[in-house]
Amino acid sequence: MDTLWSPWRMKYMMSQERSEECIFCKAATEEATVENLVVLRRKLAFVILNRFPYTTGHIMIVPYVHVDTIEKLDSATRSELMDVMAEMMILLRELYHPQAFNIGANIGMEAGAGIAGHVHLHVVPRWAGDTNFMSTIGETRVLPEELVDTFQRIRDRLI
Ligand SMILES: [Zn+2]
C-alpha cells in the first residue's frame, strides 16, 4: 500500500511544509479552476483532481469541514461523500472505461496520508498493467493524460 501512494505523498508532504494553510480548506473557498483542480462542488463535499495522479482520473473527494478522520464527520457528510464517490465513478467509467477502481483513505500520517489534517477519499481508476506507468528509465512508459486535459474532460461532463 505504501508503494501505491508514495510517489505523490512525498510531494504533498513537501508542499505542506511550505504552507501553514491546509490546501483543501484553501481550495474549498476558491472558484473551481484548472489551477486548483476543483472539478465539482456539492453541499457538504467537493471533488478535486490529484495533482500527482497514480493513474489518469485519480480524484479525491473532500468534505468542507476540516477534520482528520472519518468518524469525526457527521452522518450527512459521510453520506454525501459516498454519494459523490458513486457519481464520480459513473462519470469516470464513461470517460475512461477503467476495468477496476481503488477507493479508500489514508487516515493519519503513519498510514500514508499526505494531508493528514483533512480527511479525504481517493478514487483511482485502474487498468490491467497500469502499475508500470511510473516504471524505470529504459522501459516503455505509458504516460498518463495531462492534468489540464483530465480537468477539462471531467468539467465538460459535469456542466
Ligand atoms: Zn483543511
The H or E element spanning position 47 is strand 45-49
Beta bridge partners of 121: 61
**How remote is the CA of residue 142 from the centroid of ligand 1, in Å?**
33
Model confidence at 136: pLDDT above 50: no
If you measure from the C-alpha of residue 55 to the centroid of ligand 1, how many angstroms do you get, rounded to a whole number? 24
**pLDDT tens, position by position, 18-45:** 445 899 999 998 988 999 999 999 999 9
For residue 88, how far is its CA from the centre of ligand 1 (angstroms)? 21
pLDDT of residue 1: 38
Whether the per-residue pLDDT at 54 is higher than 90: the answer is: no
Ligand 1 centroid–CA 65 distance in Å is 7
Catalytic residue among 58, 118, 120, 122: 120
pLDDT at residue 2, as a whole number: 42
pTM to 2 decimal places: 0.80
135 strand-pairing partners: none
Count Cβ atoms within 10 A of the Cβ of residue 135 and give its class: 0-12 exposed, 13-18 middle, 19 or more buried: exposed
Q: Is the pLDDT of residue 109 over 60?
A: yes
Is 120 tagged catalytic?
A: yes
